Structure 1
Amino acid sequence: MKPNILVVGDLILDHYIWGNCERISPEAPVQVIDVKKESLSLGGACNVANNLISLESNVWICGIVGCDEAGKTLKQELENRGIKIEGIFSSTLRPTTQKSRLIAAHQQVVRIDREDKSLICQEGEKFILDFVSRKIVESNLQCLVLSDYQKGVLNDSLTQSLVALAKAHDLKILIDPKGKDYTKYKGATLLTPNKKEAMQATGINICDEDSLQDCIVALQKMCALETSLITLSEDGIAFATRDSIQEGSVKVERMPTIAREVFDVTGAGDTVIASLAYMLALGKPISQSVYFANAAAAVVVSKVGSATASKQEIFAYLRRNNLLDSALANTEFLQIFGEEMSLSNSLSRQITKIFKRQKLTSYWDKWIKAEEFYGFLESLHQLKEENFKIVFTNGCFDILHLGHIDYLHKARNLGDLLIIGLNSDASVKRLKGISRPMNEEKDRIAMLCALECVDFVVVFEEETPRELIAKIRPNVLVKGADYQGKEVVGSEFSDEVCLLEFIEGKSTSQLIQKIKES
């Protein structure tokens, strides 16, 4: 069953400009950035909605954008992800909130914000309230999520009206709060402040278990919450229910963090509130909901940039870290992962078959699709624990030739499994120009999968495979001998780097030129 969830709040378009810096401007003592690419991602309430889509929810979003190009772009990005946008109000009085970040050499150089933080107009407030009222009835909503980034949308009156609406229809209403005054959130099911935010709102300095309990109790009493909750970063999530607080014997439960590797905490809070909303909308108890949200957060912080976690990724993470034997992971809890469990078990059998060189149903079995990737990582982790040596290399492999085959056979002989990171069509175009690749992505995948020396093929969209290597963490990273004396991208995530000689005179570029001349 897919829960129906509506997200209301500040809609933000995140804009990234990526480049290199090799000189200082003669006009002023500032860096000159040579722009290489630009990218867009969803921020604010949009990222919460995107996380809910990853968890297979039916999602509506409600908020305000400007009548500008950024607004059109943001709505298109939302629609492309399957998020329903009829609840977005286009205003002529304010611009779409956009944050542009300039990144050079993996460092943020400057951020430029285009926004208007003034309170929304009466027309916009009425539009939102009317839309939510109608959608609660029409779409049988199970949960309402408010994502407040203090950009002027969730003012006091609108927030309280939305809380009242949710309570009148017996809906769960979860709020990601901002600011020091939490009175406008009174009556919510739960809030998701982090430690710093909770201390600012209550005036209580959290320094030990007693002060943590005092802060949780103060939040509950201040906002009449069903569950009082604080996210504690590397210390997990702490919470207490209204019943335990009102009975006097406060029972604060803490779910410890389970993240082993942290690459980026961007958007982790959005993942937590989305995961809690998903579970509570399905009628799951708060303890299991927090357990699930903690695992989802562990998945996203192991990725780079604002990210999402799918149910398959969460299941794979719980299984990989031996967390499915918890008392919370009962039969009812595991029902959430029905198809993901089946897919994960199927993938494990497939990997075992490939490793043992058993007959495959199809060469496509070697292609690890996006939805299989985290189950694949889980299986790799198990193989590493059994001392299997994992080899990784990457490339475009556009027109497969003898040079490629010789190189891949040599790479395979360096370990027990050879994984190929294959540049997507879009990635190849950025690297080699619009006329490439000569062979489209699926054709290149098929040709590589047909080679006996290749065990797995994973496609990546970025210009470099750094993020992919960071996740796979191979024992051996293989590149061509032309990298002698150069930095090998992703080498910090591998035990060793091996440079292999190419067969002289065998290259895709030479083949293309020969074809053109014939």
Structure 2
Amino acid sequence: MLQKNKLTNLMDKLSSGSVLVIGDIILDEFIVGSPERISREAPVIILEHVSSNYALGGASNAAHNISSMGTKCYLIGIVGEDLYAKALENECLKNNINPVLSFDKTRPTTVKTRLLSTAHKHPTSSVIFKQQLLRLDRLSKKSIGLNVEAKLLSSFELYVKKVKSVLISDYNLGICSKRFIKTLINIANKNKVPVVVDAGTDFQRFHGSYLITPNQPDAESAAGFLITDKDSLIKAGGKLLKISGTENVLITRGSEGMALFNAKKSDNPFILPAFNVSEVFDVTGAGDTVAGVIAAAVGVKLPLDTACTLGNLAASIVVKKYGTAVTDIAELKRHLYLVKY
């Protein structure tokens, strides 16, 4: 593994990169209230509104993680003809993401609304703890129409010529059909742009991609058995390489770290330990962070094991934060010297 000073120097290369993200765009909405009393209408808590804010989720969270590295980022996806579409666009622009949005009047902008209640302040800090009470999802899982697909492909063909790598982010919300993904990968390969894929199911769709990044439960589901030791891990990695037809497979394993498999040496994976197992607050969006940082690093031609090390490091930071969070180069550098590997 690289020495820390060399890894620090390589981080600076990310600012010269450019990534095209395409996939399922999600807007996260957070509504916070202060508990006042029990309602007379029903046995529920009445909250007095404190704040409302948005965050980028899904493919747009991956894009946010890329832009936070100083890497130029374009984001292609679909939104509905509603007010949330404008909110999402504004969040992208605020976070230095170039949104390339196609409107679909047959579906809503995908929004996940979380209602949270404030609790007491910690006695030794100013932190106000929040308890999530419920989540309301506005979404459609139906496949996109051919006209919308054509718009997305047209945008992809235009912008893939402007970037050094591509990230496909699939949340099973109707965009990433087998036909559509095959076309995307063919176009990217024709332009000699590597494709990183963050998806959890149906891995055979991604034949010809450079890397897929399933988490362990999804890898186990695809392989058909549990990963319980190094032998079963190696067996699963080899099977996923065969199923997907991709060059590389990265299995993310939470507290067990990561394992990177290459098609030419599937029985000898690159094993990375978890850089943070004791301060995990919220794993929401950690997979987006891993895939986004790796895509940025691959685009500037960092070795894949180095790219995965950076993705692992970034994920170890964002899991300390609430919700869909990001990090940046300065924080990566500070954190690098605190971890042991």
Q: TM-score, normalised by structure 1?
A: 0.59
**Shift in Å, 1:25:** 2.1
Contact map agreement 2:275 2:340 (CA 8 A) in 1: no
Paired residue type of 2:288: D
**Shift in Å, 1:235:** 1.0
Paired residue type of 1:282: V
**Shift in Å, 1:320:** 2.7
The answer to which of 16-25 and 273-282 deviates more is: 16-25
Which one of 137, 162, 169 corresponds to residue 184 of structure 2? 162
Q: Deviations along 1:438-458, whole A, 9 cap, x unmatched?
A: xxxxxxxxxxxxxxxxxxxxx
> What does residue 352 of structure 1 align with?
none
Contact map agreement 1:236 1:254 (CA 8 A) in 2: yes
Q: Deviations along 1:379-403, whole A, 9 cap, x unmatched?
A: xxxxxxxxxxxxxxxxxxxxxxxxx
Q: Quote the Cα distance in structure 2 between the aligned partners of 1:189 and 1:40.
A: 32
1:178 paired to 2:191? no
**Shift in Å, 1:2:** 1.6
Q: Quote the Cα distance in structure 1 between the aligned partners of 2:215 and 2:200.
A: 10
**Shift in Å, 1:208:** 1.1
Matches for 1:420-439 after TM superposition, within 5 Å: none
Q: Deviations along 1:34-66, whole A, 9 cap, x unmatched?
A: 221111111111100000011111110000001
Q: Deviations along 1:130-176, whole A, 9 cap, x unmatched?
A: 11112222x1x211101111111112211111111122222110111
**Shift in Å, 1:305:** 2.3
1:14 paired to 2:8? no
1:263 paired to 2:277? no
Structure with more helix by fraction: 1
Matches for 1:377-456 after TM superposition, within 5 Å: none
Which one of 25, 41, 46 corresponds to residue 32 of structure 1? 46
Determine helix, strand or coil for the equivalent of 1:289.
Answer: helix
Paired residue type of 2:195: I
1:202 paired to 2:223? yes
Higher relative contact order (CA 8 A, sep 6+): 2
Which one of 294, 297, 307 corresponds to residue 325 of structure 2? 307
1:253 paired to 2:265? no
Q: Quote the Cα distance in structure 1 between the aligned partners of 2:231 and 2:45.
A: 49
Q: Quote the Cα distance in structure 2 between the aligned partners of 1:164 and 1:45.
A: 20
Determine helix, strand or coil for the equivalent of 1:222.
Answer: helix
Contact map agreement 1:204 1:214 (CA 8 A) in 2: no
> What does residue 284 of structure 1 align with?
302
Determine helix, strand or coil for the equivalent of 2:265.
Answer: helix
> What does residue 100 of structure 1 align with?
113
Q: Quote the Cα distance in structure 2 between the aligned partners of 1:94 and 1:305.
A: 25
Q: Quote the Cα distance in structure 1 between the aligned partners of 2:137 and 2:305.
A: 38
Which one of 229, 243, 256 corresponds to residue 222 of structure 1? 243
> What does residue 146 of structure 1 align with?
168
Q: Deviations along 1:3-58, whole A, 9 cap, x unmatched?
A: 11100011111111111224322222222222211111111111000000111111
1:122 paired to 2:146? yes
Q: Which runs of 5+ in 2 are unaligned?
A: 1-14, 120-129
Paired residue type of 2:310: F
Determine helix, strand or coil for the equivalent of 1:244.
Answer: coil
Q: Quote the Cα distance in structure 1 between the aligned partners of 2:260 and 2:97.
A: 30
> What does residue 437 of structure 1 align with?
none
**Shift in Å, 1:322:** 5.6
The answer to which of 301-310 and 22-31 deviates more is: 22-31
Contact map agreement 1:229 1:237 (CA 8 A) in 2: yes
Q: Quote the Cα distance in structure 2 between the aligned partners of 1:231 and 1:57.
A: 23
Contact map agreement 2:30 2:54 (CA 8 A) in 1: yes
Determine helix, strand or coil for the equivalent of 2:280.
Answer: coil
Q: Quote the Cα distance in structure 2 between the aligned partners of 1:322 and 1:198.
A: 27
Q: Which runs of 5+ in 1 are unaligned?
A: 324-518
Q: Quote the Cα distance in structure 1 between the aligned partners of 2:66 and 2:52.
A: 26
RMSD (Å) for aligned C-alpha atoms: 1.4
Contact map agreement 2:297 2:307 (CA 8 A) in 1: yes
Q: Quote the Cα distance in structure 1 between the aligned partners of 2:86 and 2:249.
A: 38
Paired residue type of 1:307: A
**Shift in Å, 1:201:** 1.6
> Once the two structures are aligned, what percentage of the paired residues are identical?
33
**Shift in Å, 1:263:** 2.1
Q: Quote the Cα distance in structure 1 between the aligned partners of 2:244 and 2:78.
A: 26
1:51 paired to 2:65? yes
Q: Quote the Cα distance in structure 1 between the aligned partners of 2:158 and 2:41.
A: 57
1:111 paired to 2:124? no
Contact map agreement 1:4 1:143 (CA 8 A) in 2: yes
CA distance 1:322–1:196, change in 2 (3 Å):
closer
CA distance 1:237–1:322, change in 2 (3 Å):
closer
**Greater Rg over alpha carbons, structure:** 1
Paired residue type of 1:46: S
